[in-house]
Amino acid sequence: MLCVGLVALVAASLASIMVGASGISPGTVWDAFAQFDPSNTEHLVVVEKRLPRTLIGLAVGAALGLAGAAAQGLTRNPIADPGILGVNFGASLFVVLGIAVAGVTSLSGYVWFAFAGAAVATVLVYSVSSIGREGATPVKLALVGSAVSAAFGSIITAVMLTSTQVLNSVRFWQVGAIAGRGYDVFWQMLPGFVAGAILALLLGRQLNGLALGDDVARGLGQRVHLTRILGAVAIVLLCGSATAAAGPIAFVGLAVPHLARAIVGSDYRRVLLLSVIIGPVMLLFCDVIGRIVAMPGELEVGIVTAFIGAPFFIALVRRRKLPSL
């Protein structure tokens, strides 16, 4: 199954490089890499435009898929995604404030604000959820995360409405897209993504213990609070880097873990690993669909994932029995 996933990943990457307003043949793509000619327009499109877009799509898709799987494992909530901890809204809020207050205008400058916002949101949610004798239970995390997301969303709207300049700067980024991003954005997000991915993948056994309940996990010798803290750090790194690079993209973090569990079962060591593959496959194919349906223009990938993900979410919540975690 891993081999099938890798083949799909290669196919999605090739489609991302080949498909667009002007189609590029596989032979031309190979020549662009093997014998790059700066005077060849198609070679320039491949190397300067579509390759960085594809690399960012791979990283963002993997980050969102991993973050979604980790969030569902930490909260034992099958309809959780990174937004359950307010991470996406926290990252978005700080990016908006960075534009409005600090005058940040470049995508590469958004990275550090997104990390800071994701971290603040996670600390806030976990701190408030920890109040009380039972500590940060899955239900409290979900409720507090939803409340924080709503509050941050309101602040984002208020800031945008008070400044036309901020609104114009943020509106395209807020939709969620990987078009127009260069290598500088990829290299800016890569360290946070790699660190978050390694940390998340190392938590597979601990998430399996949490799936059995906190008491059982403690009985197995696990430190539940430490696991949740490490998981939250991984989600911050993954979502912060993904949101900074592409803006808030919905439903990838929700759908990918369910697809992974449907293929490999409920073992989080396998779910997390497969999510690294399914996430970018889903994101890149959605990006290609956006280019095809609106050709010669294109739809941002965030619109396509929302259009595809909404029916998936509705079908999920209408099921009599949600997938077992």
| 129-138, 140-149, 261-270, 292-301: least confident range | 129-138
The length of the chain in residues reads 325
Count of beta carbons in the 10 Å neighbourhood of residue 166: 18
231-287: per-residue pLDDT in tens? 888 988 998 889 888 888 888 888 899 999 989 988 999 999 999 999 999 999 999
CB 276 within 8 Å of CB 7: no
The pLDDT of residue 135: 67
Domain ranges, ordered by start, for the chain? 2-318
Mean pLDDT of 140-146: 80
With vertex at residue 110, the alpha carbon angle to CA 108 and CA 112, rounded to the nearest 5 degrees, is: 100
Alpha-helix runs per DSSP H in the chain: 2-18, 26-34, 41-44, 51-75, 87-97, 107-129, 138-161, 164-175, 183-201, 204-211, 214-219, 224-246, 252-264, 268-293, 301-318
The pLDDT of residue 320: 45
CB 224 within 8 Å of CB 214: yes
Please confirm whether the linkage preceding 296 is cis (ω < 30° from 0).
yes
For 2-318, the fitting CATH number among 1.10.10.10, 3.40.718.10, 1.10.3470.10, 3.20.20.70 is 1.10.3470.10
At residue 12, does pLDDT exceed 90?
yes
Count of beta carbons in the 10 Å neighbourhood of residue 269: 15
Q: What is the pTM of this model?
A: 0.88
40-96: per-residue pLDDT in tens? 888 999 999 999 999 999 999 999 999 999 988 888 877 777 766 788 889 889 988
The string of DSSP codes covering 43-54 is: HHIIIIIIHHHH
At residue 204, does pLDDT exceed 80?
yes
Percentage of the chain modeled with pLDDT above 70? 93
Mean pLDDT of 133-143: 72
Task: Supply 210's token pair.
Answer: 């949490």
CA distance 278 to 68: 12
The pLDDT of residue 276: 95
The pLDDT of residue 210: 83
The pLDDT of residue 63: 95
At residue 118, does pLDDT exceed 50?
yes
- SS3 for 158-209 is HHHHCCHHHHHHHHHHHHCCCCCCCHHHHHHHHHHHHHHHHHHHCCHHHHHH
Using N-to-C axis directions, what is the helix angle for 204-211 and 268-293, rounded to 10°?
100
Mean pLDDT of 15-24: 87
What share of residues in the chain are helix, strand, coil (percent, to 5)? 80, 0, 20
Mean pLDDT of 121-148: 79
Task: Supply 34's token pair.
Answer: 């093997």
Mean pLDDT of 158-182: 79
Please indicate whether residue 172 or residue 281 has the higher confidence score (pLDDT). Answer: 281
CA distance 240 to 92: 9
CA distance 306 to 301: 9
The pLDDT of residue 76: 80
